[in-house]
Amino acid sequence: MSPNNKHNLPLNSADIKILLIGILSMIAGFFIMTLDKEPFGFGFLGLTLGPIFVLLGVFIPIFSLFNKRKND
């Protein structure tokens, strides 16, 4: 691969940033679930808020990978 083929990479810097945001959102969701003080995590943090962050962490990278740009 020559230096001129730099634009043929599958992910650009914006896509990589969005992927990292998704990964950090998943990590934050799992951490939020551990903060629940109810037995077995059956409180608001363990059953509602944490899983929402984890799902966002899954859907944000999927959206970024399949999002078609007008200039591509």
Residue 2 within any structural domain of the chain = no
Q: How many CA atoms lie within 13 A of 26 on its CB side?
A: 11
Residue 72 within any structural domain of the chain = no
How many structural domains are present in the chain? 1
The yes-or-no verdict on residue 5 having pLDDT over 80 is: no
- Cβ distance 25 to 53 under 8 Å? yes
Residue 5 within any structural domain of the chain = no
Q: What angle do CA 37, 24, 64 make, to 5 degrees?
A: 135
Q: Containing domain of residue 62, as a range?
A: 10-66
CA–CA gap between residue 32 and residue 45 (Å, rounded)? 6
Whether the pTM exceeds 0.85: the reply is no
Residue 31 within any structural domain of the chain = yes
The yes-or-no verdict on residue 31 having pLDDT over 90 is: yes
Q: How many CA atoms lie within 13 A of 27 on its CB side?
A: 6
The yes-or-no verdict on residue 23 having pLDDT over 80 is: yes
The yes-or-no verdict on residue 58 having pLDDT over 70 is: yes
Average pLDDT of the chain?
A: 85
